[in-house]
Chains A and B, each alone.
Chain A
Amino acid sequence: SQQGEEDPQALSIQEGENATMNCSYKTSINNLQWYRQNSGRGLVHLILIRSNEREKHSGRLRVTLDTSKKSSSLLITASRAADTASYFCATPNQAGTALIFGKGTTLSVSS
């Protein structure tokens, strides 16, 4: 069953602008992860935020987690054309044996 759901489904911005993607989930989690997928390729792990963390940074990425609202956001600052990709949030399944991914946000950055 789907756990995470990203919003918006698609986002188009200009280079240099910031991009914000949101993820909502349904059940309690101990962590949430964001992945990136370039067209037709495998997913690349970007960042993991634990349930006791509210914000985490990695380079131009900033992730927030609000467990009371069961939501997370991914902010990409000063976007580049190379950031064009699909972005997915993922949360552990109830058994803790695998991840459940959302449908993703497709980001298009034009120069």
Chain B
Amino acid sequence: ETGVTQTPRHLVMGMTNKKSLKCEQHLGHNAMYWYKQSAKKPLELMFVYSLEERVENNSVPSRFSPECPNSSHLFLHLHTLQPEDSALYLCASSPADSYNEQFFGPGTRLTVL
């Protein structure tokens, strides 16, 4: 256990559905991240939140909408996704003054039909 939990662990959704991924960290960190991991591709950074403010939006389509209500929780709201959005979505956290040594959750395996 890394202290970062993600729910659900698996999600299957249609292209017209709206769903949300949840991430929670119990490490007292102030920075949280969403990454996308597709087969045969490097881990792609999507969003970075530091002290609950978004500091990085890595050209992610608007059908992905992040939300960070407090330093312990991070959400990724999904709307009208495409099949190519199927991937493992990983959440991570770290101290805000050091983006090193990130702690990752187990990921949500998303399948878009």
Q: Spell out A's residues near B (CB within 8 Å).
A: 2, 31, 33, 35, 40-45, 48, 88, 92-93, 95-104
Contact = CB atoms under 8 A, between A and B. Distances in A.
Q: Which 6 A-B pairs have the closest CB atoms?
A: A42-B104, A101-B43, A43-B104, A42-B106, A103-B42, A98-B48
Interface string B25-43: 0000000010000001111
Interface string B79-113: 00000000010101000000111111111010000
Contacts, number: 60
Given A40-B88, A103-B40, 5 more contacts: A41-B106, A42-B6, A43-B43, A98-B99, A101-B43
Contacts of A2: 42
A48 B90 contact: no
Contacts of A100: 42, 45
A102 B104 contact: no
Given A43-B90, A88-B43, A96 B99 contact: yes
